[in-house]
Structure 1
């Protein structure tokens, strides 16, 4: 086995172990029977706290298709009635329409979809029209961030061995290309791997999405799932990577990894969503933070249909509320999501995507031609190889302890006193030499200046 082959197999193994950022933090997923709005809607704190209810005054996502690349959305869930308008299975193990729940976490896609574009539902026997208004009386169930957006369900089998034998290296690029070709303006990828690297076979698909002006939003990953640093595909340049916040609005210890590719942070704990069969669950993880941000992207694309993907991303990150270390940092990215600002604030046009470009990355790291064809290449025509992505992790900044601060102060004072002592000694020697001037003598052995005589014998 060659060294290159060994490296490739290690990378492939890490990707096949792809942890569907399936944020569902161990004990965080708890199924529950259907409930009325007063017991579920009131718990959707992110709708108000992230400025989403205010953003609804401008847009609710009408006319925008959002592809959910995940485990297959249950279109029969009462809160998704009319929301799922199409789909496709890329795993070979699901239903042709992509709406069968499959994989290691079959409920995952439905949780994501309801948070993104849930429409709630009317109580049995009610004839009133639905109203996605979280601040007052409304339908039962979950209302998504973009309740008028449309969902495309692209089912994948990830997190465990695929019965059809199709790996993530084939599924992910095929899913992205299908979503682009079928009208998705936003793609939600709430999954991630344990490595920042990605197969070269993914390059063409993400480049294709960039060239077709599609916004891709991906989860940063969860520490509790083993993702200390952000993993692919959230490390791909141009992708809007979402980190997670706890209930206090601080970077989540369990539900968020860190890395230089993070664009924005959103709520990731104490989340609610629908599960296959019409039920609901509480869950946590950047998997849930991602559809919140993808939903905001859909609101923007609905309000400004002609706005480019890079400008949509720029609106989201430039209106985010700065947190952590001033400026962009590896825990919060540009800051905490501010949906109202993203929909209402004046934002200068950006010259480029603030999160980079896969086109530029390929030019530098693959040394390839970025002028890719306008139609997607078959996966077989794009050879896999170990990616050359540089280290993506930047250590988190920690506040110094009192002991460290005291020690640092003592060191500074010590150096200052030493410096003053040296100056005083130099002044003393100069004055002494001025009173008894004698030429310096050259050492005959070394040819260097040896010492200054101050009188007497030597």
Structure 2
């Protein structure tokens, strides 16, 4: 069964694109844990030997979180519903509960139930409201202690300026926003394409891109997002059991948010950009990628243990995050002096990762003042004189220009090119002076399948499907 969930009038779309489930009462809770294949990929025992995310607050802007789910008991803080209806803990669908469980689920009993990547973190549940309420939720999260804001949603961004302002507000207060790219296989959707947001795509068990994961230059990281088992709301929405299985960039976004919480817990003085820097520098590069960032994988698949333990220079305060319009870069704080400055970082962030000019509808900040009328008139006269002179000499110069074009065309050099053409190709973020060698997936020399080609995945015991499932 494939259930595409759209919140139409609310202006937001949940990014778990196929909530797949059957009646889980026949499945034991330990089967739930066994089915969480991402736990083995992350190697939780090693990760938790370093950090469990203790003391870090992760805001989940979503459809509400079921506070009394046994795998989230004690993990929720008082949240916020912009409509004042208490929906932050009265879920309208199972989606928000699922995201919270992937971040901070702690299971229950003797190794039973869903466990998240950062079980020591606290969840700040925020109901997403309509598209215009989401920026309000971001600012509320910042003002109530969140260090990471998880947005496993896409929106039409009717109020784009207010969203851009909210992202800038978060960065100024050292809060990292993580958002999913979208699930329709097209360009990266808002808010993931807003400058300053860490955009996340989804991969499967073989660390191959999920065909429906949206892509583009804004993608920074990928994470597990296929056949993901999570907590359900147990009676509301489409998931009528305590546990669900899903595909989507929602799930991968929750995992990257959890990884950021782990890093913040160990390195509390780092800025959001420096936390993103650690995640990016230690990501596993996709097999066969000749240039990073890749439009589908970003810099690769997140690896939390390496992000916690590798010798990664703190780098600039902004790191790989594109600056949000109007956002002043946060001070680096003590974290910037813990390690040597990243030689591959010029302090200006990275080009091509969601810069303001690359995001339709997002205004760039600009400065300048109007010229006095007298100067404008004088300037116009000067321009007119130049035009007259140019017309007078154009015929004599045309013949020489044509001849020059012919000579340069023979040499393979564009007309008018400066000495030294072509310019040297600019290194993408993290290539120059990168302290950690990214490890590709697959065997040496193995070529990856083309994008959109779903690879074969090893079967495993799935207690949620009854054999009648269709996608």
The unaligned stretches of length 5 or more in structure 1 are 1-12, 123-137, 158-166, 370-396, 401-458
Distance 1:260 1:100, change over 3 A: same
Show CA shifts across 1:407-441 (max 9, x none): xxxxxxxxxxxxxxxxxxxxxxxxxxxxxxxxxxx
Match of 1:248 among 206, 216, 223: 206
Contact 1:213–1:309 under 8 Å retained in 2: yes
**What's 1:379 paired with?**
none
- Give the distance between the partners of 1:317 and 1:34, measured in 2 at CA: 41
CA apart distance, 1:310:
1.0
Distance 1:75 1:202, change over 3 A: same
What is the TM-score normalised by the length of structure 2?
A: 0.64
Map 1:207-286 onto structure 2 (within 5 A). 207-223=168-184, 227-254=185-212, 256-277=213-234, 279-286=242-249
Structure 2 residue 12 is matched with structure 1 residue 25 = no
Match of 2:261 among 265, 283, 298: 298
> Looking at CA atoms only, which structure, 1 or 2, has the larger radius of gyration?
1
- 1:342 counterpart SS class: helix
- Give the distance between the partners of 2:186 and 2:8, measured in 1 at CA: 14
**What's 1:190 paired with?**
152
Aligned CA RMSD, in angstroms, stands at 2.6
CA apart distance, 1:187:
0.5
Structure 2 residue 47 is matched with structure 1 residue 85 = no
- Give the distance between the partners of 1:141 and 1:35, measured in 2 at CA: 11
**What's 2:467 paired with?**
none
- Give the distance between the partners of 2:245 and 2:450, measured in 1 at CA: 33
Show CA shifts across 1:342-375 (max 9, x none): 0111101222320311046679943358xxxxxx
Show CA shifts across 1:38-80 (max 9, x none): 3111111112213443211100011111000000100110000
- Give the distance between the partners of 1:62 and 1:236, measured in 2 at CA: 29
- 1:201 counterpart SS class: helix
Structure in which a larger fraction of residues adopt helix = 1
Map 1:321-332 onto structure 2 (within 5 A). 321-323=284-286, 325-326=289-290, 327-332=292-297
- Give the distance between the partners of 2:64 and 2:264, measured in 1 at CA: 24
CA apart distance, 1:298:
0.6
**What's 1:318 paired with?**
281
CA apart distance, 1:17:
4.3
The unaligned stretches of length 5 or more in structure 2 are 1-6, 235-240, 327-354, 368-447, 452-471
- Give the distance between the partners of 2:163 and 2:156, measured in 1 at CA: 16
**What's 2:46 paired with?**
54
What is the TM-score normalised by the length of structure 1?
A: 0.66
**What's 1:346 paired with?**
311
CA apart distance, 1:198:
6.4
How many equivalent pairs are there? 324
